[in-house]
Amino acid sequence: MAETDLKNFNSDAFAKDLSSQASQVVPNDIKQPDKDFIVDIIYRFCKMAGDALVGEENSKLNASQASLITQFIGEWIFHKSVDIIRAGIELKYREAILQKVAFTVFDIAKRAVEKDLPQDQLISLVEAQVKKSFAKAMEDLKSRGILTEQATQNALSQSNIDAMAMQQVEEETAKDIAMMSDSKIIKLASLAVLIKNFPTEKLRNILQKFNKPERDVLMKYLKMPDLEEKLDEGATMRCLEEMKSTLPEAIVVSYDKAHKKICKIVKNSSKDEVLNIINKERPLIRELVGACFLNKKKKVPAHIADIVSKYLEEKIK
């Protein structure tokens, strides 16, 4: 919407448009009466918010800013409506809960927009305050004996906004996988096995070296708990040997240098500490590090030995 005069903002039409959009994306597990409730309350709360913005004297907002604030309200009412319905909150308590959410979004978003806060900061600020407001509404119901502790925690554990975001990521990842060759997928899965227990910062640095489709697929495998069981160890090692064709930049390393580094770390560290670190790693990694306790060598690809040496160095400080 263009930055036109606030008086040109049609709150009724905009509210109807938001509620209509919401009706198209209500999750399939929501039954029709509850779906009708969601669509209706989005319309009513968004229209009230729009009317309030248009009716405010000496307002410095324009139509575009008013639509942004109203859209925030519609989106959060949608998500929290789904959350309380899934949590089994009775119909008679829903509107009061959502009213608190709508007021919070209206107040925070309006002040942030008036201060010309960047949109990414605005989104984070509104989300944080919505969570606080929603939690307080649930605690109020619990303190009045309306909700049990279990019901309260059930409501607070719901997060439709996270579920929809995850679904979008999964759909995009599925598209990425469908467009990739089998060999590239296997290589990414193999790499995930090797680096999944790396420290967060190390993982972040590795992920940044990949383009978005490859990064999304790699992250999917990093989150897969039974990935090792689905991959053949021999195939994994062959893929890692060929990783140079997949990695964004070649890494030239020396096996002897990496092995000496591992042995030095092992020698200067507590045996129990080292064993605790490698305990959940693949047998090949345990054998590589364990050989250093016996002053022996376990031959592996040089770049794997290098990665392991850096991993141990980072974990043992």
Domain boundary pick from 186, 215, 245 = 245
% of the chain residues with pLDDT over 90? 26
Split at pLDDT 50, 70, 90, the class of 202 is: confident
151/45 same-domain check = yes
Split at pLDDT 50, 70, 90, the class of 105 is: very high
Is the whole-model pTM more than 0.75?
Answer: no
**Residue 312 pLDDT > 70:** yes
Is position 250 within any domain? Answer: no
**Residue 249 pLDDT > 60:** no
**Residue 245 pLDDT > 60:** no
Split at pLDDT 50, 70, 90, the class of 2 is: very low
Any idea which residue has 């009412």 for tokens?
A: 77
143/274 same-domain check = no
Looking at the structure of the chain, the number of domains it has is: 3
Split at pLDDT 50, 70, 90, the class of 71 is: very high
Q: What's the confidence (pLDDT) of residue 19?
A: 93
Is position 176 within any domain? Answer: yes
232/269 same-domain check = no
Split at pLDDT 50, 70, 90, the class of 59 is: confident
179/265 same-domain check = no
Q: What's the confidence (pLDDT) of residue 187?
A: 76
74/217 same-domain check = no
153/175 same-domain check = no
**Residue 262 pLDDT > 80:** yes
Split at pLDDT 50, 70, 90, the class of 98 is: very high
Domain boundary pick from 158, 175, 210 = 158
Is position 55 within any domain? Answer: yes
Specify which of 54-68, 69-83, 143-157 reaches the highest per-range mean pLDDT.
69-83
Split at pLDDT 50, 70, 90, the class of 244 is: low
Split at pLDDT 50, 70, 90, the class of 168 is: low
13/139 same-domain check = yes
**Residue 180 pLDDT > 60:** yes
190 or 117, higher pLDDT: 117
23/65 same-domain check = yes
pLDDT tens digits along 114-138: 988 888 888 888 888 888 998 898 8
Q: What's the confidence (pLDDT) of residue 250?
A: 45
| 36-50, 102-116, 193-207: least confident range | 193-207
Residue 98: domain span = 6-158
**Mean per-residue pLDDT over the chain, rounded:** 83
**Residue 280 pLDDT > 50:** yes
Mean pLDDT, to the nearest integer, of 155-178?
67
Q: What's the confidence (pLDDT) of residue 252?
A: 58
223/261 same-domain check = no
Q: What's the confidence (pLDDT) of residue 56?
A: 86
Residues 6+ apart with CB under 8 A from 52: 106
27/154 same-domain check = yes
Mean pLDDT, to the nearest integer, of 207-232?
77
Q: What's the confidence (pLDDT) of residue 108?
A: 92
